[in-house]
A and B are shown apart, each in its own frame.
Chain A
Amino acid sequence: MKNKFGSVYFSIFGLIVLGLGIAELIIGVAARSFTWSILEISGEFLLWKGIILFFAGFFYLSSVKNLTEIHQLAKNVMASVMLWTIAGMQIFAIITESIPGGEEGWINTWEGFLSAYSPPYIPALILLPFSLVTIYYVYAREK
């Protein structure tokens, strides 16, 4: 049952990750940007991020058959690690940009600090919470 849920979940999730990876690649090659609601596809290293998301999606999809088998789960974990690398570096970049004060002073104002964390966000950041399901499967296997 657990296996079936995971397979369905990561099939859908993998397709979304793969799709967003392709979108980042296309927009990166065309040197354009795209914003929709809280989602934004633009910024530095867009091609790199697109390639990584594309392969992460591919790894998720290739891991769905017999997900709890150790080699399949390893692919799933690495797909999540790739996603976490992009999202983690984005969070780190937001934090480092939110603290310095720019022209006005050494430290940012409270409003300036908070506005750095406001949307829109890159795809990997939006996908991040949904990828945490992997952790459940890792712990479930260890138990």
Chain B
Amino acid sequence: MLDVEQRWELIDKIAKRTIKFGKYRHTLKDAIAEITVKPLTGIPIAIAVLYGFWAFFVAFAGFFTDGFLVKLFDMHWLPWLQEVFPAGKESWLYYIFVGDPLAENCFEAFGMLTSGLFVAIGVVLPAIVAFYLVLIVLEDSGYLPRLAVLIDTVLHKIGLHGYAIVPSILSLGCNVPACTACRILETKKQRFIMRTILAIFIPCGAQLGIMLKVIPETVGWVILYLLIGYFILGFILSRIVPGESPELLLDIPSYQRPTFSNVGRKLWVRTSSFFTTAIPFVLLGVIIINVLYLTGVIDWLAAGLGPLLSGWFGVPKETVGALIVAFLRKDLAVAQLSAIEMTKYQMVTSVVLVSIYFPCIATFIMLLKEGGAKGFLGSLAALVATVFLYGGLLHLIWILLGVA
């Protein structure tokens, strides 16, 4: 048996015989890695990366959705369904599956086989593929950990650290895996703050895709408003939630070229879950909302919640249907908003409300699973307060600007 000193001596002997020391040659890759984490040079580079991310997302999703899928659904699928659907145009079955018989596009029809399929396949799927494709390339190239280091100081102000950028960016794809990704944060306090602010303020890829289609000119302002809310709520929670916010200790990998096979495999894994989890919820959402319309529940709710919606938030009472469907799928809710007559400002408020209002049911389940009953109730309390205060604040801004 060797004692500690003898073990270290043995290690020294082995090291001397096996390790060769030489002068390390600093490579261009090392120098680039250094300047991407220094704030002065790293922040402009991060702006360029995020611009590339967004520009690719818009061009890729636009190519498939506006270039081909809108035409396929509006000019071929919708007229064909309206013609061959076996039930009469006055029947409830027609209303649920095909929707409005006079509709000229799939956005307005709001049937399960028209709007439901169009939203899921025609709008959301290209957006999800574009988002994950860029995210995977950034992950595999080694840029994401550098972004974490770069944003560390800012995120410390809201009780988090640089690694919180991972669930935040993942959340832009889907809030569900992002809730799980909060586990990379060390303390209960950090995980609670992260789960709560991402569930309220970060729109998922599906919702982003629809927002881009419904409010293309103002989507940037909506995202900015949500981003400000993300930091305000994070700051407040970091002050009132007890617990620790430790420093970031992060091992940064070197830059490397992403391989096609890895990117392809990861893309398939992430997008295939969209088919099994998201599409059934979209279709189910359309059925439920149409049944609620047929049975008069939506009208009853609209009448009851009308004063609150139009008085406090300044949106038409008809948005109640979209707010109900938002509980199932937020993308579908934004699509439904596009069929309601309202001003540009009311539309922006409605889209913000749908975003910060209750997260979709899948995220809800994840909040409960990850945070337990106590954490879930805490997130819920923060959410209700945020919807009323932050939603009302937007209405106040419109009043002050004289446009409400």
Contacts and interface: CB of A to CB of B under 8 A. Distances in A.
Q: Do A and B assemble together?
A: yes
Interface of A: 44-45, 48-49, 51-52, 55-56, 58-59, 70-71, 73-75, 77-78, 81-82, 85-86, 88-89, 92-93, 96-97, 99-100, 106, 138, 141-142
B47 A138 contact: no
B92 interface: no
B60 A70 contact: no
11 contacts: A48-B47, A51-B44, A55-B47, A56-B44, A89-B56, A92-B55, A92-B56, A96-B62, A99-B63, A100-B63, A100-B66
B265 interface: no
A70 B45 contact: no
A106 B72 CA distance: 9
Contacts of A44: 58
A134 B44 CA distance: 19
A20 B48 CA distance: 16
Contact of B51 (A75, A89, A93): A89
Given A100-B68, A106-B71, A89 B28 contact: no
B51 A52 contact: yes
Given A100-B63, A100-B66, 12 more contacts: A45-B51, A45-B55, A55-B48, A56-B44, A59-B44, A77-B28, A85-B48, A85-B52, A86-B48, A99-B63, A99-B67, A142-B28
B48 A74 contact: no
Given A96-B60, A100-B63, A74 B55 contact: no
Interface residues of B, number: 29
Interface of B: 26-28, 30-32, 34-36, 41, 44-45, 47-49, 51-52, 54-56, 58-60, 62-63, 66-68, 71
Contacts of A74: 28, 31-32, 34-35
B28 A55 contact: no
B104 to A, nearest CB: 14
Given A85-B51, A93-B59, A100-B68, A52 B31 contact: no
B126 to A, nearest CB: 11
Contact of B32 (A45, A77, A86, A100): A77
B28 A70 contact: yes
B59 A96 contact: yes
Contacts of A59: 41, 44
A140 to B, nearest CB: 12
Given A85-B48, A93-B59, A78 B71 contact: no
A82 B28 contact: no
B48 A70 contact: no
A73 B63 contact: no
Contact of B45 (A78, A88, A142): A78
B48 A81 contact: yes
Contacts of A48: 47, 51
Given A59-B41, A96-B62, A82 B48 contact: yes
A77 B31 CA distance: 10
B52 A89 contact: yes
A85 B55 CA distance: 9
A75 B63 contact: no
Nearest to A103: B71
Which of A75, A96, A141 has the most C-beta atoms of chain B within 10 angstroms of its own C-beta? Answer: A96
Given A89-B55, A96-B60, A73 B44 contact: no
A51 B63 CA distance: 26
B35 A75 contact: yes
Nearest to A52: B48
Nearest to A69: B31
Nearest to A137: B28
B51 A55 contact: no
B248 to A, nearest CB: 24
B28 A92 contact: no
A82 B31 contact: no
A86 to B, nearest CB: 7
A106 B71 CA distance: 8
Contacts of B26: 70
Nearest to B68: A100
A35 B48 CA distance: 24
B31 A92 contact: no
A97 B26 CA distance: 43
Contact of A73 (B31, B62, B66, B68): B31
